[in-house]
A and B are shown apart, each in its own frame.
Chain A
Amino acid sequence: MPDTHRLTTRTAWGYLFAVLLLGGCAVGDRGDVSARPAAPASATPSLTPHSNLSTYRSTRAHSETALPVRLRIPAIDVDTGLESLGLASDQSIEVPTEPGVAGWWERGPRPGQVGPAVILGHVDSKAGPAVFFRLDRLERGDEVLVDRADGSTARFVVTGQGTYRKVAFPSDLVYYPTLDPELRLVTCGGPYDQAAGTYTENLVVFAAQAS
């Protein structure tokens, strides 16, 4: 699970005790910072509305985020186009048709929108390495770039990664809505089950939009 906490437990304890002590007299004389608001002397406010009040209209402007078209991950030399992925007949997620091309879950957020955008790539084909073969080498802070159809680029930084058994895939960690723009990169990992013809695990890399 990614560690995206801005504050740590240590920080919280520090804050708690700090605010306890903020009120104290730890530094010198604080006699000159003791006044709080005076008791009110009743008065009716002047109801002279702001001149803009009558013309104010709440915003209706909302620009749609462009579709993702390309994924670049410099740290592992990934530079690929993007397919659009939907649901397979068994309700699992579709996978890219080409081992060298990644795919974006089109029913989820677009990269750069609030919420977790999900991009899949194969780790290998029968013939050899595929586009996400080195995904597990990504480290916290590595940059992930998603180019969009309007020429803009959404920039993310890796915050963590996790490996999960496919039979217990953490759908909530991958797909559950958030109010921050985030990115999930998914591929296969773990042992290969020759009988079933599948890897038994998925590797998920978590990234957050760069500030």
Chain B
Amino acid sequence: MSRIPIFSSLLAALSLLLANTTAQPQNPNMVSTNIPGVFSIAAPPQGFNPLTAKDVDLAYYGFPPRPDSSISPKGFAAWKRVMATSKIRITPKLEKTDIFHGPFNKVSSNDKSPIQFTPGGGGGSTYGSYNWSGYTTYSASGGYGTNASYYYIYATFVTPIAQQMPGACSGTDYGCSWVGIDGVYAPAATEVLQAGVEFDAYCNGGVTTPTYYAWYEWYPGAAVSIANFTIAPSNGIYMYLYPMSATTARLFMGNENTLQSVSLYVPAPTGVQWYGNSAEFITERPMVGGSLSTLTDYQDVPFWEAYAFTYSWVQYPLTAQNSHNILMWDNTCTHVISYPILIGDHAFFTEREGP
């Protein structure tokens, strides 16, 4: 028994080495999913303790890297809790969707000049967007693997209730909250890697039917939902993203109410690479059928324990100059429909605003 961890450590180390040199990562613990090229990681053996496990064993069993407690004690505490509560590792059933959670769709100065609505707070200037609200933090990445490139992002947030605006009842409204890498600044402005929770509200005849599910997406690919991962209102959700290689992302997500967790390898779309010059925490209205959807009346989504680390383990608070709060505007750029309010260095909430 005592040899098994050593053996697995070696395998994990080997797999890490392989991962850096091959497009298709190899790990004996990987399990194929129903989508080619996407793999999940099976549960660790009974008694495996991620809090005391070696880094290579963590990686082998699909747990996210251990943050340096000396750099961020609170960030480390958040990770510890996730390690403890990610009790039930599920084998994901994936479903491709036709929903696109695109990159930052910026409101240009021609549309709205100047932007006068600045409730968000934070160190950097306020951005306007048609699809995003929340925070994005810039780092002067020189490309994948460079010191200033974002390597690791995670956050905790709570799933809101999905409903339509008071008095409204038509079709489906869409909304989601996620953490992500890239999607704001060139040369990574047209790609974005995301992991999030969808909260959509269909209404007909006065009856609202909400839909909640977890998903990942590497744009320009469409979102992929995880059909057997249970999400309900007020569930505490964590999302961890980090790369295996420039073209393979690792994803660890979980629900603290159900204890379910998922560990995934996700390949990049053709021609796309992890660049790492922005990390963001966002509530979004996606593109559906080629158009911006109507945003769910979600009230509030609190985010906390929101951390992003570069390869050199630098992390910027939301109050840093390179962190920007983002307001979401309606299609005609007349009203702000969702915006963030800063709570602290690593916490904020996004809030729905009429109409």
B is bound to A: no
Residues of chain A whose beta carbon lies under 8 Å from any beta carbon of chain B? none
